[in-house]
Structure 1
């Protein structure tokens, strides 16, 4: 009996010794197997996917700028409010611009009155030119008649001189014929002078017409300038009322009632609705198998449980360093090779589905499936 118990104790001791000997080996083997399994999966995954955490959500945004100077009269939206395109955002005190518009309109009306006067002056100049032309025609006709009379008087004088030589005419009759020639000649000369005066008057009348026409053209040019002044004044009145250029959400509000604003000053920034995408900066060594249209898994740091799908829509033609304010210059000094990153634009599929979660600037992890 004692021998049997001793044998059992020896067997138990040997079993415990075997367990102590092989258990660590088994555990190590299991760890190696598990590690090898996950290592193999990681290796396979690395061959099928390219991953980066250097990525952010981007979105279209539109600044709302003041286009005229003035004091802010009303602000109609709050921070981060949803707005629709055309919705009123800010009103700048328009009184100054209303007055300028009224003044511009008054100047325009004055020029219209000047134009009416100039057109009346042109009609008067045209009427005067017609009268002068009529007088010139009358003077020309009178001169022609008088030339005939002068010629007739000269013919009579020639005849009377012959008769006087034949003593068929008295001295008194001859002198009367001579006097008649002188009278008719003087009258003809006067008629010729009237023609010259009429032609001079015609020139003056035509100059008056040209002056009146030039004055009309000048006033019409002034009217265009003053119409432009009215249009500009209307624009400024309109610019005093700022509306949302796009639909979206107010991202930043930099204006309060009573504030004096200057042209070009940013009052709001509006982030557009449903226009989000991801820009992921991959290392240049990750681009070998990357192509347009490849599927992308997107994980948001803010919403780790959210499963967002996307696809590559474009790859930048230059590295991010090329767009830096001071691009690197490797032509001088000691060269240190640095792995460059290339921006890749990723389209978010069904962005409306995530409209409450997507925010411009959020950090994400992007995983591109590059395996065929």
Structure 2
């Protein structure tokens, strides 16, 4: 017959052995965890970040055509959407017409300047002729005065000579006035040419502006990547400066880990990092610290804390640390902007 008195002893022995094994395993696990913690700074306050470029309308209008889909792939320079360009074409035509009118005004002013210069040359020639006549008349008057003094001519003849001399004096003075008028006309016309040139430059700038606005009706991708959520449809009216959607660069992912300020003593540039993505348990990525923020995350908040107030509670701050993923191209199918990760930095 079996001795049942030994069974409780065996049961207690098994329990003790199991308890001891648990203690040993726990001790080993605790020691390994402690050893790991001694040489690593860890945080679960981290996420995947990526470069995102907003697509913004630069002119207002109704969406004529939309060439993108939700989360669709686009390449740099691809047409994303087209805004109705009818009014912008008309504005360009009007600007070009104004430019042509300004060109005509400039040509007219330049022609007037040519006429004024020709008039000046004619007036100068007339003045030279008038001066010759004036000098001859003055010489005739001097000669006739001497003849009259010798009683060789009559008083009437002398008066005729005086009248002729005075007439030529007036003609010469009139020719000088014509020269002044021609010079004044040249000055006025030159000023008009300067004004016409300035107006022409202004109209040319308006043409370029209208042409540029016309190009803005065709919105293209500014980077290569994936479209985010599309909240836009054909026929919808958009305003200049309105953000339409976002393109996420699918090749520029990195990690931003927010470490406590008490951990910064063991964090440095180039430090090796181990990255575990919550979405893929067991997958460990390698990386290196690329940069450390010069300010805590709280400083970038909408209402940063002000410790100068009377009520002050000391809170451990977080400092963003940028980590570059090594061989990131191998994990492009798994990386998504905003995913939560765990980061460990070895020191």
Separation (CA, whole Å) in 2 of partners of 1:16 and 1:360:
61
Given candidates 70, 77, 83, the residue that maps to 1:79 is 70
Checking the alignment, whether the CA contact within 8 Å between 1:153 and 1:177 is kept in structure 2 is: no
Aligned to 1:93: 84
Aligned to 2:36: 45
Separation (CA, whole Å) in 1 of partners of 2:231 and 2:13:
72
- Cα distance, 1:332 vs structure 2: 2.0
Checking the alignment, whether the CA contact within 8 Å between 2:254 and 2:325 is kept in structure 1 is: yes
Checking the alignment, whether the CA contact within 8 Å between 1:53 and 1:366 is kept in structure 2 is: yes
- Cα distance, 1:188 vs structure 2: 1.4
Separation (CA, whole Å) in 1 of partners of 2:8 and 2:205:
106
Q: Does 1:111 align with 2:88?
A: no
Checking the alignment, whether the CA contact within 8 Å between 1:254 and 1:266 is kept in structure 2 is: no
- Cα distance, 1:67 vs structure 2: 1.0
- Cα distance, 1:152 vs structure 2: 1.1
Aligned to 2:231: 254
Q: Equivalent residue of 1:71, what SS?
A: strand
Residues 360 and 154 of structure 1: CA distance in aligned 2, closer, same or farther (over 3 Å): same
Residues 97 and 198 of structure 1: CA distance in aligned 2, closer, same or farther (over 3 Å): same
Given candidates 115, 118, 137, the residue that maps to 1:124 is 115
Given candidates 265, 269, 277, the residue that maps to 2:254 is 277
The 5-angstrom pairing of residues 125-274 of structure 1 reads 125-160=116-151, 173=152, 176-274=153-251
- Cα distance, 1:26 vs structure 2: 3.3
Aligned to 2:334: 357
Larger radius of gyration, structure 1 or 2? 1
The 5-angstrom pairing of residues 297-336 of structure 1 reads 297-336=274-313
Q: Equivalent residue of 2:115, what SS?
A: helix
Q: Which moved more, 1:89-98 or 1:215-224?
A: 215-224
- Cα distance, 1:177 vs structure 2: 4.1
Separation (CA, whole Å) in 2 of partners of 1:37 and 1:118:
98
Q: Equivalent residue of 1:288, what SS?
A: helix
Note the alpha carbon deviations across 1:271-317, whole angstroms, 9 max, x for none. 11311111000111111111111111111111223332111001111
Separation (CA, whole Å) in 2 of partners of 1:49 and 1:335:
32
Checking the alignment, whether the CA contact within 8 Å between 1:252 and 1:270 is kept in structure 2 is: no
Structure 2 residue ranges without an equivalent (≥5): none
Normalising by structure 1, we get a TM-score of 0.89
Checking the alignment, whether the CA contact within 8 Å between 1:281 and 1:343 is kept in structure 2 is: yes
- Cα distance, 1:118 vs structure 2: 1.8
Aligned to 1:70: 61
Note the alpha carbon deviations across 1:58-102, whole angstroms, 9 max, x for none. 111111111111111100111111101110010011000011111
- Cα distance, 1:225 vs structure 2: 1.1
CA RMSD, 1 decimal: 1.8
The 5-angstrom pairing of residues 289-304 of structure 1 reads 289-304=266-281
Residues 184 and 59 of structure 1: CA distance in aligned 2, closer, same or farther (over 3 Å): same
Separation (CA, whole Å) in 2 of partners of 1:135 and 1:87:
72
Checking the alignment, whether the CA contact within 8 Å between 1:76 and 1:88 is kept in structure 2 is: yes
Normalising by structure 2, we get a TM-score of 0.95
Q: Equivalent residue of 2:252, what SS?
A: strand
Separation (CA, whole Å) in 2 of partners of 1:290 and 1:128:
86
Checking the alignment, whether the CA contact within 8 Å between 2:41 and 2:266 is kept in structure 1 is: no
Number of paired residues?
Answer: 347
Q: Equivalent residue of 2:69, what SS?
A: coil
